[in-house]
Structure 1
Amino acid sequence: MEAFEEEAIRDSEKKPKCWLRSEYLNTLHSNIKFTMETEKDGVLHFMDVLVKRTNNNKLAHGVYRKKTHTDRYLNAAFHHYPQQKRSLIKTLVHRAETICDDESRPEELKQIKEALTKNGYKEKDIDRVCRTQRTRI
């Protein structure tokens, strides 16, 4: 992104004193469109992070999923290396641990366990991976 912006500034006829991303960037490449999200009802999402404004005007954060998300992951019955299946569990748990605040983490971990169970994973296998990460679901 930085290289793209530097090129845009370098190639522009008028050099800005203050650079703010604007519609100018959308004119530079037909396949790249920049957008801006605004807070709606105290909620704002960015990539896979959901930021919520709490009643005391602080910020809480959890995992964001698009409405089209289906909870479909690599099925446990598929013929893949066991390490790939363990890595899926580790990745989802790590995302919950790094994105979620203390209050939203238990619900996210519960959701992960439900999704993985629907994808054929056994609770004992999920729990084993979580123990190695010192996480309880």
Structure 2
Amino acid sequence: MGSPVSPITANAFMEHFEEKALSSFRNPPRFWGRYVDDTMVVIKKTDVHDFTKHINSVHDAIKFTVEEESDNCIPMLDTMITRNPNGCLSFGVYRKPTHTDQYLDFASHQPLEHKLGVIRTLTHRAKTICSDQDTLNTELHHVKRALSVCGYTKWAWNTPQSRKLDPKPNARKDTAPPKGHITLPYVQG
């Protein structure tokens, strides 16, 4: 913990672990995807119990839990994956049931760029994750409603800075690099 080598070592170990676990199961999953400690697995329903028992027996310190799809949907990280009747997948933004929709209050004493960054980030996430226009429109409506409760006005949404993804919109390529910087925190009053 705390070492910059830790994530690399953990990933190397998990790759070894996965190779050993998947190659030694009689009927391995059709798909196995992992991001840090979350995995997405496509496997026959009849093999779920046996596979979970098998993979939990590979190493004493590594234990997996199972979350099966419900109503053809399953969450993975910030994404809700839905299996459509035609077999295709669709994607939308997922929030845990405990999510409160509380974001940086627009009336707080924070730089305006941070507040507009909340709009940019949530909008970008919706546009990146949502796989169809209806899901995107529903998500953007949800974000606007949640942020309006936090004091975000129509003006904030329509400001060009709330739509740009460039972190330095005023940066010019022909300017000399800065020689240094000073950070002055804002203290109210």
Q: TM-score, normalised by structure 1?
A: 0.76
Is the Cα–Cα contact under 8 Å of residues 54 and 60 in structure 1 kept in the other structure? yes
Q: CA RMSD in A?
A: 2.7
Give, in angstroms, the shift of residue 87 of structure 1: 1.2
CA distance in 1, matches of 2:94, 2:138: 13
> Which residue of 1 is the match for residue 76 of structure 2?
46
Verify: 1:18 aligned to 2:23, yes or no.
yes
CA distance in 2, matches of 1:130, 1:55: 37
Is the Cα–Cα contact under 8 Å of residues 50 and 64 in structure 1 kept in the other structure? yes
CA distance in 1, matches of 2:79, 2:21: 32
Verify: 1:68 aligned to 2:101, yes or no.
no
Cα deviations by residue, 1:13-45 (Å, 9 ceiling, x for unpaired): xx668167821477326xxx5333221111111
> Which residue of 2 is the match for residue 88 of structure 1?
118
Any unmatched runs of 5+ in structure 2?
Answer: 1-9, 26-51, 166-189
CA distance in 2, matches of 1:105, 1:49: 13
Of all paired residues, the percent bearing the same amino acid is 37
Q: Which has the larger radius of gyration?
A: 2
Cα deviations by residue, 1:78-97 (Å, 9 ceiling, x for unpaired): 11111111111111011001
- Evaluate the alpha carbon distance shift between residue 101 and residue 79 of structure 1 in structure 2; reply closer, same or farther with a 3 A threshold: same
CA distance in 2, matches of 1:17, 1:94: 35
Verify: 1:27 aligned to 2:60, yes or no.
yes
CA distance in 2, matches of 1:17, 1:66: 30
> Which residue of 1 is the match for residue 12 of structure 2?
3
Any unmatched runs of 5+ in structure 1?
Answer: 10-14
Cα deviations by residue, 1:67-123 (Å, 9 ceiling, x for unpaired): 111110011111111111111111101100100012310100010100110001111
> Which residue of 1 is the match for residue 185 of structure 2?
none
Give, in angstroms, the shift of residue 6 of structure 1: 4.9
Q: TM-score, normalised by structure 2?
A: 0.57
Count of aligned positions: 125
- Evaluate the alpha carbon distance shift between residue 107 and residue 6 of structure 1 in structure 2; reply closer, same or farther with a 3 A threshold: closer
Is the Cα–Cα contact under 8 Å of residues 120 and 163 in structure 2 kept in the other structure? no
